[in-house]
Structure 1
């Protein structure tokens, strides 16, 4: 039965319906006004919208504009719109908001369409890109399950979305969005970090398939993570490619081509313990924190800068390729040297043959994290020692990669003690700019930086300092000295160095030959002539900051110094007598490009230009005819290279410091404790433990012509000529002539 309504009843129902609709609209309008004026909580200001309180990673940037590493709580770095590939923009719009350029923040048509899709079981999000950006601004707020509260939250997002659209261009909105979204693993936030992490590239170089994968991760970074769920990632990527083809960003042929490609992941998670320059980044961070504190460099609001959160740009002198070559050279040779070391000690009774062996192992145990934790738990020493004798699961370093294993903690201490360590630094002698810094063999397991923080006995690398004082006093490299013991008195106990019979060149030899072959007795004779104080003074002028007592034995390197200081000192020889402070930090900028700190290296005239040049001449002889001769016959480097090997007592430390006109590089090798070392000089000398790392590094440097390090450039002679004769034939003729004159005069 159909009831026919009277006209007045129809009017009454229409009035009620429209009254309800108008009432709802009015209520919605009142709610929007109330929310807009902050009655339900303050809304983000325009300043907050433009500068959201995101944790931005600070970037360490090399001289060739590459990111060496980051300091971060959240791995996030901002980029500009021009630095983002159009493929990323197209993929995002096609998938998330295909009417993005047509709406003003809220797309009501899309909203109601999405509601209909959800009602029939096809779950989709109805938020525009602008609304999603607004939601990100409320990232600290939990999404409420209370319907009324959730409605308020949604209306807040609408208002912010409209404000964003009114105050920013579409390009700016896309840039802000892509700089803030979460990409899941390893604290990866923003398109820049995501590009580097998953494809080892930059956002401007992303291909359509790469962009599609990253865009699909935006709303479900775990579900579509290509490392954890590659099948889901492939399906998700192909869906985005399909949407790009539907929106005419790709042709059908391109869609089919990219759809058929594998994921092509080049996974490079950014981690504080991994990547290039890990030791350098640790030292650099501490330096910047110290500089900011000492110079009171703070944010405009007076609070200290936080390198992990404030997105600073840290410009350094390191060269990305050279750092890579240095680390590769170390890894390649130290793997070989460790095998030599292990074979050398195989079958030997270390308890009897190593001084203080039990004490060293006990000290290693007491310095370990495990010991400190057990001590904090109230364990006695006997209980702790028993714990160290029980097998446990652990991760240990090897030159073939970390391995998970089960071993007794006390055995892991022994294993670590017998693991050779190595450090190197390379710098431009003219500018002082450090190009490569390798502070140790593995930052994850051995965090102590051996370039600057550590000092070791320098051995024969100190000999050139004594010869430099002699040259400065007019001694010629051609001066001949009888290579016999020469005792020096007047400085406490009379001192005369030892000299191995197998390594001693008998008879009269020149100073040049004595330095080239590292002859102790001739070096002591020179020290006796010039006295210790001038040598000590020169060493300090050349940048050695550790203690150098004015005793005769410093001519053989009985003092300790760092790789950093020794490399800087040798740069004086290559730089015409000028010491330029080794510099690795150029400037620090805030996230907006304002300079917070700029570094200016110190320059000191340590020796005259003539002395420096004569020393380069003598140091080249070390490589061509002395202890560093394997540089040529084994590694094929016969170009102008000077240097000095160094080997300390009992072969505890091996050094090589090499100089060229454009690059000075210092290398040190040894164990953690000086009592653990090679038993023979043949294996433990610097020529075998340190020089090969230098040679392998230089070969790669020379092979890269873009670095500008030229192989056949020699050291420049002084502009005003030489007063010291370095041609031994000419020198001998002069000496013979002088002797004849003296004879005629009756002297």
Structure 2
């Protein structure tokens, strides 16, 4: 006892005790200050009892398969029963082996950290953070303070952790933790991580997969299996060792598991990548409008990024996958032919006017102009080179390029739009808004309006049949100059002088897409009648009242166009394409539902429908779309129409089958750049092959037998009789001699 008193009298001991006491007082003051809210309000037990986590909105296809999400943090919650036992075992063995023994703060672990990690510098001693402490950090984050920021945050987390432990069971804490903990690639929660890295629900994770994900928690980027597979696998083996150490696995199991490689099935749900990005972007736009009209029970608005909504859509993910593959196969090949056809004289390289005009439309150019920079200064700034990722069909590349270089690179690319709908309802089954959403955000299905070319002839001929014109009515192929429209003279592609006195019936004229006859039919039936019929079929755009309307000079939205064609296989009733069937809250309660919008009345007669369908079948069997039969060997019941616009700017194809209506477009986003030749740019070559390859793939997939094996309705005998005539006839002897080769006439006036 005396030696203790003697020791206490020593000066250095007094100083040591004073320092210790000061440290304790200091920590106590900081702790009490945190507890009293001097560094920010702490959540009360009431707040913690109703923890709200930001949850991603899920987008599901027609079969409730997850195809995407909208989120700030990619989080998708589960209940405790959804977690496999080996996942929980791996987590506890690796992150908090004394989890079931502490009350949120593990004092034993803290002492170990103090003596081993801090005093003895033993890096293998592990950390003192418990699962509950990590949960507190995940839920409420950390704030920066002027001084002692780390200490203040640690105290906050310890107080919150103890309150969490007082309210929730250990199972609830594990559930909350696994639903909030960050995983690699900006992913929050085990369910989202499981679906992203292994494309499966967390409930089905194997020992290897669960341990891989648990292993990433130590350092999400460093152990990211997508980026550093070998490193992640090594960390996974550490998890196995921990499970062995604490009795969760046997030695034999660990030895077996360690020999197996990590096999990822990575599926990103990032907005710009993954399946159907253009479709998901369009659904997002529609949701913004829909959610503005909905309120929660408490009057609050719904938050697309936080409320965990479930959006059910019409998309068929299997069909979408085939459509995207078909598009990539064709466009990559067509792009190569397109560039080769121009050679060194390509407008994106040699036409200064096109390049300068496109340059002046760039947002960066406009911003420099607004700042008052001269043209020379702007061009100088836009000539600065920097490392940039560039899209290529052969694989993206990173190059040192300027803004001007990048513009020239992207000016050359052909783009596309494709929409497939169920004609009976308008339900969208496949949706391609462009070639790659990361680099081409503009949606050619919902946003774009392009000249529709010869696909508009369907409206002209439908109007003619509906107004009593017989299918065996003949028109001459001869050219006519319309004097009241600047002496406009429509011509036919591949003009042959021998056709001057040749006449086609309606079936032959439409199936071979004869321009001169289309205009004559329009003149005969009247522009106003055609426009009225198009509006009945669902075209809302104001159409030009001029004879060139017959050749498709009108710019129409692809989505609207597709819905208008649905009536040919839907009892003469057009359908409005739609994407969302219902929206549920996170508890599964339906907060909004949507029904198909199909025209209530028939927009043309059964007779007209059957005649037009037979004519469009001829287009496929013997007309401009015959390569579907010859080149692509498709045996399906198919009706169709090709379309090409002036100067080969746009290529179109309308493919109609009994249970699916598809429209495809191909062209350049810059209207000044068309195809070099009709051979490459005509709809039969530019747009039709996407449909053809798409159907080839569906034919090979038994899942789509219901669609691919369906057959058209049998037309009435009257329809067959009215179509039973010679496809063509020649003018008589006297007409060939005395007929005017170059006719001039005024177009039919308004009634």
TM-score exceeds 0.5: yes
Match of 2:416 in 1: 422
How is 1:703-714 mapped onto 2 (pairs within 5 angstroms)? 703-714=700-711
| Alpha-carbon offset, residue 150 of structure 1 | 6.8
Over the aligned positions, Cα root-mean-square deviation in angstroms equals 3.5
1:598 aligns with 2:601: no
Match of 2:395 in 1: 401
Match of 1:16 in 2: none
Match of 2:434 in 1: 440
- Contact 2:43–2:160, Cα closer than 8 Å, also in 1: no
1:161 aligns with 2:155: no
Match of 1:361 in 2: 355
| Alpha-carbon offset, residue 193 of structure 1 | 2.3
How is 1:574-613 mapped onto 2 (pairs within 5 angstroms)? 574-604=569-599, 605-613=602-610
What secondary structure sits across from 1:578 in the alignment? coil
What secondary structure sits across from 2:345 in the alignment? coil
Match of 2:631 in 1: 634
| Alpha-carbon offset, residue 459 of structure 1 | 0.6
What secondary structure sits across from 2:566 in the alignment? helix
Deviation larger for 450-459 or 673-682: 673-682
Partner Cα separation in structure 2 for residue 711 and residue 147 of structure 1? 64
What secondary structure sits across from 1:217 in the alignment? helix
Deviation larger for 390-399 or 42-51: 42-51
Partner Cα separation in structure 1 for residue 40 and residue 415 of structure 2? 58
What secondary structure sits across from 1:225 in the alignment? coil
Match of 1:124 in 2: 126
Partner Cα separation in structure 2 for residue 147 and residue 456 of structure 1? 59
Deviation larger for 385-394 or 35-44: 35-44
Deviation larger for 176-185 or 156-165: 156-165
Match of 1:12 in 2: none
- Contact 2:664–2:690, Cα closer than 8 Å, also in 1: yes
What secondary structure sits across from 2:217 in the alignment? coil
- Contact 1:32–1:155, Cα closer than 8 Å, also in 2: no
Partner Cα separation in structure 2 for residue 578 and residue 47 of structure 1? 57
Match of 1:736 in 2: none
| Alpha-carbon offset, residue 527 of structure 1 | 1.8
1:134 aligns with 2:131: no
How is 1:37-76 mapped onto 2 (pairs within 5 angstroms)? 42-45=41-44, 48-49=47-48, 51-76=50-75
What secondary structure sits across from 1:314 in the alignment? strand
- Contact 1:135–1:157, Cα closer than 8 Å, also in 2: no
Gap runs ≥5 in structure 1:
6-23, 734-747
Deviation larger for 700-709 or 649-658: 700-709
| Alpha-carbon offset, residue 537 of structure 1 | 1.2
Match of 1:202 in 2: 201
Residue of structure 1 aligned with 2:475, choices 478, 481, 491: 481
Partner Cα separation in structure 2 for residue 276 and residue 407 of structure 1? 30
Match of 2:285 in 1: 286
1:686 aligns with 2:678: no
- Contact 2:348–2:354, Cα closer than 8 Å, also in 1: no
Match of 2:525 in 1: 530
Partner Cα separation in structure 1 for residue 536 and residue 180 of structure 2? 51
How is 1:3-82 mapped onto 2 (pairs within 5 angstroms)? 42-45=41-44, 48-49=47-48, 51-82=50-81
Note the alpha carbon deviations across 1:460-486, whole angstroms, 9 max, x for none: 001111111222234443444333335
Match of 1:549 in 2: 544
The 3 A distance-change label for structure 1 pair 523 and 272 is same
1:647 aligns with 2:640: no
What secondary structure sits across from 1:405 in the alignment? strand
What secondary structure sits across from 2:68 in the alignment? strand
Deviation larger for 314-323 or 52-61: 52-61
What secondary structure sits across from 1:442 in the alignment? coil
Partner Cα separation in structure 2 for residue 702 and residue 79 of structure 1? 39
Partner Cα separation in structure 1 for residue 575 and residue 625 of structure 2? 26
| Alpha-carbon offset, residue 656 of structure 1 | 0.4
- Contact 1:614–1:726, Cα closer than 8 Å, also in 2: no
| Alpha-carbon offset, residue 323 of structure 1 | 1.6
Partner Cα separation in structure 2 for residue 608 and residue 711 of structure 1? 26
Match of 2:447 in 1: 453
Match of 1:177 in 2: 177
Match of 1:498 in 2: 491
Match of 2:562 in 1: 567
- Contact 1:619–1:642, Cα closer than 8 Å, also in 2: yes
Match of 2:18 in 1: none
The 3 A distance-change label for structure 1 pair 460 and 305 is same
- Contact 1:44–1:137, Cα closer than 8 Å, also in 2: no
What secondary structure sits across from 1:724 in the alignment? helix
Partner Cα separation in structure 2 for residue 222 and residue 607 of structure 1? 61
- Contact 2:348–2:355, Cα closer than 8 Å, also in 1: no
Partner Cα separation in structure 2 for residue 713 and residue 522 of structure 1? 33
| Alpha-carbon offset, residue 610 of structure 1 | 3.0
The 3 A distance-change label for structure 1 pair 35 and 684 is closer
- Contact 1:164–1:173, Cα closer than 8 Å, also in 2: no
Note the alpha carbon deviations across 1:589-609, whole angstroms, 9 max, x for none: 333333333223322132233
| Alpha-carbon offset, residue 426 of structure 1 | 1.0
Gap runs ≥5 in structure 2:
6-23, 728-751
What secondary structure sits across from 1:346 in the alignment? helix
| Alpha-carbon offset, residue 640 of structure 1 | 0.5
The 3 A distance-change label for structure 1 pair 417 and 221 is closer
Residue of structure 2 aligned with 1:513, choices 502, 508, 511: 508
| Alpha-carbon offset, residue 424 of structure 1 | 0.8
- Contact 2:42–2:160, Cα closer than 8 Å, also in 1: no
Note the alpha carbon deviations across 1:662-691, whole angstroms, 9 max, x for none: 111111011122331123211110000000
| Alpha-carbon offset, residue 304 of structure 1 | 4.2
Deviation larger for 128-137 or 664-673: 128-137
- Contact 1:532–1:550, Cα closer than 8 Å, also in 2: yes
Note the alpha carbon deviations across 1:125-170, whole angstroms, 9 max, x for none: 34543443234333244598489857853651343232233xx4x4
| Alpha-carbon offset, residue 541 of structure 1 | 1.8
| Alpha-carbon offset, residue 697 of structure 1 | 1.2
TM-score (norm 2): 0.84
Match of 2:213 in 1: 214
What secondary structure sits across from 1:426 in the alignment? strand
The 3 A distance-change label for structure 1 pair 246 and 623 is same
Partner Cα separation in structure 1 for residue 143 and residue 452 of structure 2? 59
Match of 1:375 in 2: 369
Residue of structure 1 aligned with 2:666, choices 666, 669, 673: 669
Match of 2:462 in 1: 468
Deviation larger for 576-585 or 108-117: 108-117
| Alpha-carbon offset, residue 246 of structure 1 | 4.0
Note the alpha carbon deviations across 1:680-730, whole angstroms, 9 max, x for none: 211110000000011111222232222454323211247xx464345644x
Match of 1:332 in 2: 329
| Alpha-carbon offset, residue 298 of structure 1 | 4.0
Partner Cα separation in structure 2 for residue 678 and residue 62 of structure 1? 36
- Contact 2:610–2:719, Cα closer than 8 Å, also in 1: no
The 3 A distance-change label for structure 1 pair 419 and 537 is same
Match of 1:314 in 2: 311
What secondary structure sits across from 1:509 in the alignment? strand
Match of 2:553 in 1: 558
The 3 A distance-change label for structure 1 pair 250 and 349 is closer
